[in-house]
Structure 1
């Protein structure tokens, strides 16, 4: 369990210059060591969030997303950016109602409703404006870029994968390069129930530090390897409100991306003490190995 992270006094002063006096501060960080997020309560009882990004890359992605992409989701469907300061990698955000979906103990019908709303929000995000030339180049190269990461993940995972499993990952990386064109757009990048907030107002998305131009199918990898693997009704509800079924190329890409996600999980999860991520990687890899056997 990580220790509580105090809000630096200089950042509190900076926030108060923009939102007025802060009467209480709560550490709202994830258990990940580099996560730094605080819930700031103002004198009127209004809550805002102050987030310090873990890297320049994540700050750049998230601040850009809040300015140019996230507003397409609608007023109550995501936080809005109040201000940011690049030298400190800090963002000041409004709060949205709700609690993380994974903590709510939803029943079968409620899970379908959540996935239905998630599909609609994902469609809005993916279609949030035309990609400029530079973003389109990045998006169209995103599958090849993902394949390029295979050897790095394999090296980091080491003997957590046996020879046959390593070969499966390499085979799927090679297949990913041959998938061909898939629809592109702006993706969330960490699209999963941990970042879905549910309330009586409906669903909201949070945490856009991995948002970027990419193949849209990349936003479905975590869902496909967790939620949808055992609950095809949730996938059906999601895609119905998303507005279309996945193409054959996207289905093929999703399988290849799942193999890469598995080795990434097995590289990152044990090193960071994340049993859930580790289990996701092992389960996906076991499934792919079983399905690939003649």
Structure 2
């Protein structure tokens, strides 16, 4: 088998050496990275199989989260063919290799607004959330401080919105929160569809959070104006985990995080979405 697209074009020398030690002769079939951070996602091919490689820089916390997820929390999905198997990892070099999952990305495809897919997504998420839970009395207080720090960074949130957000944060009384394993970015851009079957990818935002937090991005995107998708998702999930007023605060926090992060990495389309999310979130407090 003749190999081109040498992985050395994409990886540090020590990473390339490690991957070759694991896999032997390999080629890069495609670069699947978003190119917004230093996270790299590569489609690899050996003489026997296709694989996915993921890596990132020393300060890239998404790599550490992905590793943690696959070391202890994706088994419930993998057992039902809903997530890929991590085959190799080197934490020091921050390199992971996964089995390749066939399919098309749900976002932008004919499946993005298919209720049957959203029913599967709800069911898969419930399976992931149901692995365990713990009560955290300081979660909301820590999260409030996190978002105050975000607002102190450079961003393009309007002065009037910033003032309104500060008033909401000042008035909010943090409560204890029940936390479960969450994906952190549960939406069609992280779902693969293969012959009508959904599989989840990218656990780089894995963390213990309230279950409802995994609905925040859907609620700000695909659910808007499409009640049938929301209904199908909740049917698959089994219950509606959202409760006020914590749900309104989740939407606001998600909106702020989206707008600030997107501005920092230069993703103007995602930043505009963040500003729309802020407007919608603030309307819930009026």
TM bracket (short chain): 0.7 to 0.9
**Aligned partner (choices 252, 265, 273) of residue 259 of structure 1:** 252
Tell me the equivalent position of 1:52.
55
Q: Which runs of 5+ in 1 are unaligned?
A: none
Q: How many residues align?
A: 277
The within-5 A match list for 1:63-212 is: 63-75=67-79, 76-106=81-111, 108=113, 110=114, 112-128=115-131, 130-131=132-133, 136=134, 141-158=138-155, 160-163=157-160, 165-174=161-170, 177-178=173-174, 180-200=175-195, 202-212=197-207
Matches of 1:177 and 1:79, distance apart in 2: 40
**TM-score of the pair, normalised by structure 2:** 0.86
SS at match of 1:40: strand
RMSD of the alignment, in Å? 2.5
Post-superposition shift, 1:230? Answer: 2.6
Post-superposition shift, 1:161? Answer: 1.7
Post-superposition shift, 1:40? Answer: 0.7
SS at match of 1:244: coil
Q: Alpha carbons of 1:36 and 1:237: their partners in 2 closer, same or farther (altered >3 Å)?
A: same
Matches of 2:179 and 2:147, distance apart in 1: 21
Q: Which runs of 5+ in 2 are unaligned?
A: 1-8
Post-superposition shift, 1:177? Answer: 4.1
Question: Runs in 1 of length 4+ with deviation above 6 angstroms?
Answer: none
Post-superposition shift, 1:60? Answer: 2.8
Post-superposition shift, 1:182? Answer: 4.6
CA offsets per residue over residues 21-72 of structure 1, 9 Å max, x none?
Answer: 214442221121312111111112x211111134364333211211211010
**TM-score of the pair, normalised by structure 1:** 0.84
